[in-house]
Chain A
Amino acid sequence: MKTTWKGIAVWAGSLALGLAFGFSSLNAHAGEVVLYSSNQPELLDVIAQGFKEKTGHTMTSVRMGTGEAMKRIAAERANPLCDVFWSGDVAVLDNAKADFAAYKSPEAEGLPATMIDKEAKWIASNTHLMVFMVNTKLIPENEAPKTWADLLDPRWKGKIVMANPEKSGTAYAQVYGVYKMFGDEGLAKLVDNATILDSSSLVYKGTAEGEFALGITLEYAAYRYVAGGNPDVKIIYPSDGVISAPEGAALVNGCQHPAEAKQLVDYLLSKEVEEMIFQKYYRRPAREDTATIGGLPDTVSLNILKSFDPAEASALKGKILAQWKKLVLNK
């Protein structure tokens, strides 16, 4: 009797353990610099390869959401396992500043002031422009709104969609931008006009499929459809202020490989990497000396909303969202 059960237990146990070890070995490549990143795996592979060719150092990456990464980095404070975090909303990085070390990369020279933290605890690598994505089957391009002021006009009521700022960081950036331009009144008009969807992906998907006429969304998300060959999608950069929400890289405080980590930050901010990401993933570089792609306008030719301040955005978050929630619940 005992042998039967023992046999089964040993068999099941060793099966589970064997598989587990098999898998954990897939996880842990022997490596030097450790990067936590919210970027897609294939991009991280390209970066690891390029960094190795350029510097000879090996880079290991762990992929997770920005919020999750901040929690992990905070939890590992006593014994940092991560050297560099790359590509998260700078407002989120700004909140987690205590866990980052100041590093003024030589690559950051010439960046606009809003693209680098005052203490250089984070540096922007790319930026998301908030655009109007229009489906020309539903609104002819020449009739589409060209400015935020136009978009807030009651005649667009029910025709525009946006993501929920209580759930999505980019949607909050849009709301904060509108607040900076038009104040509380702007928020009320926006809530009145827009259908609010639960995730940002529903905005660009639905607009591309012709379900919605106009979506407030990220430039790269809209441009993926243009580049993919969808003839109905047009992108409008509002001329009264393009909201620009930067994403950045940061060096972890007290990390184990500071020298290599600094080289990695330099590499991530370099012109070649930022241009490559622009070409492949349509994410606009933070630096302004890069070549643009496929008919997209140069950053310098756009009226970027100068008053957009990531630090203030995160400071005002509670107040603006409370106001927003009140407007939505009583809609």
Chain B
Amino acid sequence: MKTRLFSVWNVVFVLAIAVLLLLVVYPMFSIFQASLVSAETGEFTWGNYIDVFTTRFYRRCLWNSVFLSGLATVFSVIIGVPFAFLTTRYKLPGASILKTLGTLPLILPTFIGAEAWLLLLGRNGILTQFFHSFGLNTPSIYGWQGVVLVYTLQFFPFVFLMVSAAINSVDRSLEESARNLGASPWRVFYTVTLPVVMPAIASGALIVFCMSIENFGVPTIIGNDYKVLAEQAYSEFVSEMGGNPSMAGALSTVLVVVTLLLTIIQKVWVERKSYAMSSLRPPEILPLAPWKTCLSWLFCAGVVFVSLAPFLVVLVAAVTKTSGPVMYYGQFSLDNLALALHSAPRPILNSFFLATTATVIGMFFGMAVSYIVVRRRGVCGYTLDLVMMLPLVIAGSVLGIAMAATFNEGPVILTGTWVILVLAYFVRKTPFSVKTTSALLYQIDAAIEEASVNLGVPPLRSFMKVVVPVMLPGIISGAIIMWVTTLAELSSTIVLYYGPWSTMTVQVFQYIGSGDFGPASAYGAILILSVIIPLFLLNKFLGRDPMQSL
């Protein structure tokens, strides 16, 4: 019986590894290989890397990338950590609504956020004009300031989510003992609470950094001549003037190396610092003095309001009258929504089809991988976990470029088909499913399942009957997160889609590109609603916010 159990899961393990090798490792390796080939002579060379590090332009891009991402990370922590503490530990009116609203920025594609802020704070922006009428001159949003603003407001929820989960896992008795031993509240915070939460802050910060450094949409829209590496890699690849694939490869490799190094440093550091907690009694929620409640509430509500401002802009712009690229604010019109829903609904259908297909595949794959990672620790589980999580540190556009180049030739040509989009989404989003599912799986005692197998139920059926029901909430949360983030995905789509397989995000990106914010907002509004509605329903029926299980 025992051997049979292992043979079934061995097959699954080998299959999973093979799929990931083919879809992630091999394409990334080919990108690296391409970067070592001279574009002119086709011979082996380190020249592309020498160019990256010796040309003033590329060095500036590299520095800009690190600077922007670092600054955005710092600000995200400054906003996200207090937000998490205030909404999780203290009695604030509407804390749960604030928490739910606080996660919403994650579902808005960042370049829509950038364009919306441009409409608010650009030189001719609505807020700029407003301030101007009081004689106030706001600084220009173009350049690094604007990019950092957008990154911070869109990515701080990662810090907030991770930290609030960690706060909830702090056992109440720890802090109580510290207090009983005579420590002041601040001392308790610095010596007990903060060290426990620190790894979560580090994880959140790392995600913000990776998301910022891989992003090219925001710098393209409001960076002006403040250029970053991700943008250069992308434009070398899509250039209509015949870009330089070797250079694109070298720039991509540099990006991946930066994020990979940081991930390793963070992992080593967290493993040394992390405290095993089994939260028997989650911390109690404390009341605050009225004026403190008031200030805290104003801070949290203010953060939520500002970070959701782009949603408001998009929803308003979607029903604003437009004439070509010129917007007439204050005049209502349904023309752009009618265009999106009636004349050109194909991108909407494409988005739903691609996201659903990728999610269904990712759900089953994620289930199997989580099981192996949790149940079969040791080399196998560890390797699988590592390879599975690899796409999280690879920029979407880089992975897209790698896949496009790899599956452009050979026995199966996938470039230019919808299948490659589904595969890219699957690879990029399944890590979320594995994360949410394996977290639950750790709580199931392997003995229960063994009992079922020993009672004569075949291993796979035992898995379906005993394990899957327990994993179900994690699977559903994972699936929702996959679906929602796939709908909002631009970076890999833009390099992989072709003609008829354009998605909502591509439409928004292109309409923003041609200056037509009206139709862009119409698709954007549909995208926002189709993401918020399932999240809201799930929140209502499951009684929990799926985004918070990340």
**Genuine A/B complex:** yes
**Interface, chain A (partner B; CB < 8 A):** 1, 4-5, 8, 12, 15-16, 19-20, 23, 26-27, 41-42, 62-68, 165-169, 172, 195-199, 201-202, 204-206, 208-211, 221, 224-225, 227-230, 317, 321, 328-330
Contacts of A66 in B (CB 8 A): 240
Given contacts A1-B458, A64-B499, A195-B224, contact A168 B357 (CB under 8 A): no
State the CA gap A169–B238 with chains docked (Å): 13
Cross-chain contact B225 with A195 (CB below 8 angstroms): yes
Report the nearest A residue to B339, measured CB to CB.
Answer: A42
| Contact across chains for A224 and B325 when beta carbons are under 8 A apart | yes
Residue of A nearest to B125 (CB): A209
- 1/0 per residue B336-366: CB within 8 Å of A? 0000000110100110010011001100100
Contact of B499 among A63, A227, A330 (CB under 8 A): A63
B239 on the interface (CB 8 Å rule)?
Answer: yes
Question: Could you tell me if B241 and A205 are in contact, using CB atoms closer than 8 angstroms?
Answer: no
Are A329 and B353 also in contact (CB < 8 A) when A166-B239, A172-B241, A210-B123 are? no
Q: What 10 A-B pairs are tightest by C-beta distance, nearest first?
A: A228-B326, A228-B324, A1-B461, A228-B323, A201-B513, A205-B515, A224-B324, A210-B124, A1-B458, A64-B499
B241 contact set on A, CB distance < 8 A: 165-169, 172, 317, 321
Q: Which residues of A contact B299 (CB under 8 A)?
A: none
A62: chain B residues at CB < 8 Å are 499-500
Query: Among B55, B56, B515, which residue has its beta carbon within 8 angstroms of that of A201?
Result: B515
* Known interface pairs A66-B240, A227-B324; A4-B461 also in contact (CB < 8 Å): yes
Does A198 contact B227, Cβ atoms closer than 8 Å?
yes
Residues of B within 8 A of A (CB): 55-57, 118, 122-124, 142, 220-221, 224-225, 227, 231, 235, 239-241, 243, 322-326, 328, 343-344, 346, 349-350, 353, 356-357, 360-361, 364, 418, 458, 460-461, 464, 498-500, 513-515
In the docked arrangement, what's the CA distance between A8 and B361, Å?
11
- Minimal Cβ-Cβ distance residue in B for A61: B499
Taking a contact as CB atoms closer than 8 A, the residue among B142, B239, B324, B461 that contacts A167 in the complex is: B239
Q: Show 7 A/B contacts (Cβ-Cβ < 8 Å), sorted by A.
A: A1-B461, A166-B239, A195-B224, A201-B513, A209-B118, A211-B142, A225-B325
Contact of A230 among B57, B240, B326 (CB under 8 A): B326
Please tell me if the beta carbons of B235 and A198 are within 8 angstroms of each other in the complex: yes
Q: For residue B343, which residues in chain A have a CB less than 8 angstroms away from its CB?
A: 42
**Chain A residue at smallest Cβ distance from B458:** A1
A15 to B364, CA, bound (A): 14
In Å, the complex CA distance between A109 and B530 comes to 53
Closest chain A residue to B510 by CB distance?
A: A201
Residue of A nearest to B323 (CB): A228
A208 in contact with B361 given A1-B460, A27-B500, A65-B240 (CB within 8 Å) = no
Q: In whole angstroms, how far apart are the Cα atoms of A317 and B220 in the complex?
A: 25
Q: Are A208 and B515 in contact (CB under 8 A)?
A: yes
When distances are taken between beta carbons in the complex, the residues of chain A under 8 Å from B122 are 209, 211
A329 contacts which chain B residues (CB < 8 A)?
55-57
* Cα–Cα, bound, A202→B323 (Å): 19
Residues of A within 8 A of B357 (CB): 15-16, 19
* Contact A167 to B513, CB < 8 A, known contacts A23-B349, A209-B122, A228-B326: no
> In the complex, are the beta carbons of A199 and B360 less than 8 A apart?
no
Distance of A64 Cα from B227 Cα, bound (Å): 28
Point out the residues of chain A lying under 8 angstroms from B323, CB to CB.
227-229
A91 to B16, CA, bound (A): 48
Write the chain B residue with the least CB distance to A137.
Answer: B124
Assuming the contacts A42-B343, A229-B326, A329-B56, asked whether A167 and B224 have C-beta atoms less than 8 A apart, the reply is no
Q: Tell me the bound Cα distance from A169 to B350 in angstroms.
A: 30
Given contacts A201-B515, A225-B326, 5 further A-B contacts (CB under 8 A): A1-B460, A166-B241, A197-B225, A202-B221, A227-B324
- B243 / chain A contacts, CB cutoff of 8 Å: 167
Interface pair A4/B235, CB less than 8 Å apart: no
Q: Which of A4, A67, A199 contacts B220 (CB 8 A)?
A: A199
A210 to chain B, nearest CB (A): 4
A196 x B225 contact (CB < 8 A): yes
Residue from the set A199, A224, A317 with the largest chain B CB neighbour count within 10 Å: A224
A23/B353 contact (C-beta < 8 A), A167-B235, A209-B123, A229-B323 known = yes
Quote the shortest CB–CB distance from B490 to chain A (angstroms).
Answer: 15
In Å, the complex CA distance between A241 and B346 comes to 43
- B324 close to A328 (CB less than 8 A): no
Query: Nearest chain B CB to A6's CB is how many angstroms away?
Result: 11
User: Please, which residues of chain A bring their CB within 8 A of the CB of B361?
Assistant: 12
For the complex formed, measure the closest distance between the CB of B128 and the CB atoms of chain A, giving whole angstroms: 10
Q: How far is the CA of A27 from the CA of B502 in the complex (A)?
A: 13
Contact yes or no, B460 A5, CB < 8 A: yes
In the complex, what distance in Å separates the CA atom of A19 from the CA atom of B231? 34
Distance in angstroms between the alpha carbons of A14 and B56 in the assembled complex: 54
Give bound CA distance, A277 to B297, whole Å.
56
**Bound-state Cα–Cα, A210 to B132, Å:** 14
Specify the chain B residue showing the minimal Cβ separation from A27. B500
Q: A20-B418, A168-B241, A211-B142 are in contact. Are A201 and B346 (CB under 8 A)?
A: no
Kindly report which residue of chain B lies nearest to residue A200, judged by CB atoms. B513
CB-defined contacts of A4 to chain B, threshold 8 Å: 460-461, 464
Distance in angstroms from A29 CB to nearest chain B CB is 12
Question: Complex: how many Å from CA A194 to CA B123?
Answer: 19
**In the complex, which of the residues B346, B464, B499 has the most CB atoms of chain A within 10 Å of its own CB atom?**
B499
The residue in chain B whose Cβ has the minimal distance to the Cβ of A45 is B343
Q: Is A211 touching B123 in the complex (CB atoms < 8 A)?
A: yes
B239: chain A residues within 8 A (beta carbon): 166-167
Residues of B contacting A201 in the complex (Cβ-Cβ under 8 angstroms): 513-515
**CB-CB < 8 A to A64: which residues of B?**
498-499
* B513: chain A residues within 8 A (beta carbon): 199, 201
Complex: how many Å from CA A229 to CA B350?
A: 34
Nearest-neighbour CB distance to chain B for A185, whole angstroms, equals 23
Cα-based distance from A75 to B325 in the complex (angstroms): 37
Specify which chain B residues have a CB less than 8 angstroms from the CB of A41 in the assembled complex: 344
| Chain B positions within 8 Å of A210 at CB level | 123-124
Judge whether B353 and A19 touch: CB under 8 Å: yes
- Bound-state CA distance A169–B353 (Å) is 34
Q: Which residue of B lies closest to A330 (CB)?
A: B56
Please, which residue of chain A has its CB at the minimum distance from the CB of B502? Answer: A63
CA distance A211 to B123 in the complex (A): 6
Contact check: which of A23, A166, A168 meets B418 at CB < 8 Å? A23
Closest to A230 in B: B326
Q: Give the CA-CA distance A329 to B227 in the complex, in Å.
A: 13
